[in-house]
């Protein structure tokens, strides 16, 4: 009898920005060390929309968990293909260099119940497994590396040395906490792998938890949930001087989720002078497609008559490429700006 391919893990990527919440902007690629593990265990990836299913090669008369019992943890890169992803995603801008979003199935509350969505941990630094730690050269310093609250590595620096050398290459890649003299300095992902230039995130599959789920006939699943950025909607209305009309009244009729404040006069576009600006009173999550649209309502008269005329303009969905970071009461706020030419 020949071996068969069995589905043993599911990774799903969701984002509230998209209408169906399916996040399809990432290419999923194993790290170089994980690629070797996939080959050794005959593991293949099947991508269906925003869902990735992992299949393993299983010999006759064996269970899939038996085949995977000795496999090391797996790490997959989420390679970003959308340059505007951070604009419509709830992350702090600008994104820090040499950091990734991190997702893991290391925490399992109940394998037999519905899986809760995991919110990524952002701005996790990437570090080699050999590095130096700056310490007080006039003192003896204790440097510890921890995983899951447990000390897995410790070294003591010598006096008159401002840098302590750390080498955790024997422990392998993973998330570590760096502690110096009882104080936590940082959390980081240590690896010897070369990652893709556009890597946005790392997905960690804890094999011990996965095997335990498979023993209970439950296919483990990691649901990753990205949240849409909340922004103030701002519409800038530019009236053409060629229209020869006089505006009597102008307002934006909002939707069930968008309430607009009073009209403001601001200089937004160079050379246009003061323009009319409408902005929501509260930030609203960005959406790729809208179920409701605010309406710009204009009452005006023209040069030919004093009769009041009405013009209603359905306003477009906020453009994710036009997200602006501003300060308000010393706090960062985000504004999605759309210019409307009338």
pLDDT digits (tens, 9 = 90+) for 176-230: 999 999 999 999 999 999 999 999 999 999 999 999 999 999 999 999 999 999 9
Does position 14 have pLDDT exceeding 60, yes or no? Answer: yes
Least confident of 79-83, 110-114, 183-187, 336-340: 110-114
Place of tokens 């119940």: 113
Q: What is the pLDDT of residue 130?
A: 96
In angstroms, the CA 160 to CA 11 distance is 50
Does position 111 have pLDDT exceeding 70, yes or no? Answer: no
Q: What is the pLDDT of residue 159?
A: 83
- Report the pLDDT averaged over residues 17-42: 95
Compute how many other C-beta atoms are within 10 angstroms of the C-beta atom of residue 272. 12
Binned at pLDDT 50, 70 and 90, residue 274 comes out as confident
Q: What is the pLDDT of residue 109?
A: 52
Token readout for 133 is 């730690």
pTM (global) more than 0.85: yes
- Write out the E strands in 36-182: 44-48, 51-58, 74-80, 99-104, 117-118, 121-127, 130-134, 142-147, 150-156, 163-167, 174-180
Q: What is the pLDDT of residue 114?
A: 60
Q: What is the pLDDT of residue 115?
A: 63
3-state secondary structure of 197: coil
Domain segments of the chain: what residues? 4-123+193-226, 130-189, 231-341
Q: Cβ distance 50 to 13 under 8 Å?
A: yes
Place of tokens 């505007």: 84
Binned at pLDDT 50, 70 and 90, residue 129 comes out as very high
Count the alpha carbons within 13 Å of 26 in the hemisphere toward its beta carbon. 29
Does position 295 have pLDDT exceeding 90, yes or no? Answer: yes
Q: Is 179 left (phi over 0), alpha (psi -120 to 50) or beta?
A: beta
Token readout for 206 is 């804890």
Token readout for 159 is 């006096």
Burial 119-142 (b: 16+ CB within 10 A, else e): ebbbebebbebeeebebeeeeebe
List C-alpha distances in Å: 17 to 118, 225, 268, 285, 325.
16, 11, 27, 8, 19
In angstroms, the CA 253 to CA 312 distance is 10
Does position 7 have pLDDT exceeding 70, yes or no? Answer: yes
What would the CATH number be for the domain defined by 130-189?
Answer: 2.60.40
Report which of 5, 6, 3, 15 is spatially closest to residue 223, judged by C-alpha positions. 15
Does position 65 have pLDDT exceeding 80, yes or no? Answer: yes
Mean pLDDT estimate for the chain:
91
Cα angle: 35, vertex 38, 43; to 5 degrees: 140
- Report the pLDDT averaged over residues 265-281: 83
Q: What is the pLDDT of residue 112?
A: 52
Count each helix (H run) and each strand (E run) in the chain, helices first: 3, 25
């Amino acid at each position: 009898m020949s071996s068969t391919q069995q589905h043993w893990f599911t990774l799903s990527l969701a984002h509230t920005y998209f209408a169906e919440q399916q996040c399809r902007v990432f290419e999923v690629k194993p790290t170089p060390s994980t690629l070797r593990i996939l080959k050794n265990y005959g593991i293949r990836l099947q991508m269906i929309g925003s869902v990735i299913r992992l299949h393993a090669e299983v010999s006759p008369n064996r269970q899939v968990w038996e085949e995977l019992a000795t496999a090391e943890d797996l790490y997959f890169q989420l390679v970003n293909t959308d340059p505007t992803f951070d604009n419509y995603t709830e992350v702090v801008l600008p994104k820090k260099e040499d950091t990734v979003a991190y997702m893991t199935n290391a925490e399992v509350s109940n394998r037999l119940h519905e899986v809760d969505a995991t919110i990524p941990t952002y701005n996790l630094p990437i570090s080699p497994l050999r590095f130096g730690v700056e310490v007080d050269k006039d003192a003896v310093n204790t440097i510890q590396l921890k995983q899951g609250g447990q000390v897995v590595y410790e070294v003591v620096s010598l006096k008159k040395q401002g840098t302590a050398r750390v080498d955790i290459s024997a422990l392998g890649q993973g998330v570590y906490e760096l502690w110096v003299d009882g104080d936590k300095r940082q959390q980081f992902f240590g690896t010897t792998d070369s990652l893709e230039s556009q890597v946005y995130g790392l997905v960690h599959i804890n094999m011990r938890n996965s095997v335990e789920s498979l023993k209970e006939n439950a296919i483990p699943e990691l649901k990753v949930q990205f949240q849409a950025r909340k922004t103030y909607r701002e519409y800038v209305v530019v009236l053409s001087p060629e229209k020869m009309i006089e505006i009597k009244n102008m307002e934006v009729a909002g939707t069930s989720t968008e309430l607009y404040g009073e009209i403001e006069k601001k200089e937004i576009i160079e050379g246009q002078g003061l323009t009319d600006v409408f902005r929501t009173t509260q930030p609203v999550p960005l959406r790729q497609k809208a179920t409701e649209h605010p309406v710009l309502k204009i009452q005006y008269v023209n040069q030919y008559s004093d009769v009041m005329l009405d013009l209603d303009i359905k306003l477009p969905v906020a453009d994710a490429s036009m997200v602006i970071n501003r300060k308000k009461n010393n706090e960062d706020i985000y504004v999605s700006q759309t210019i409307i030419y009338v």
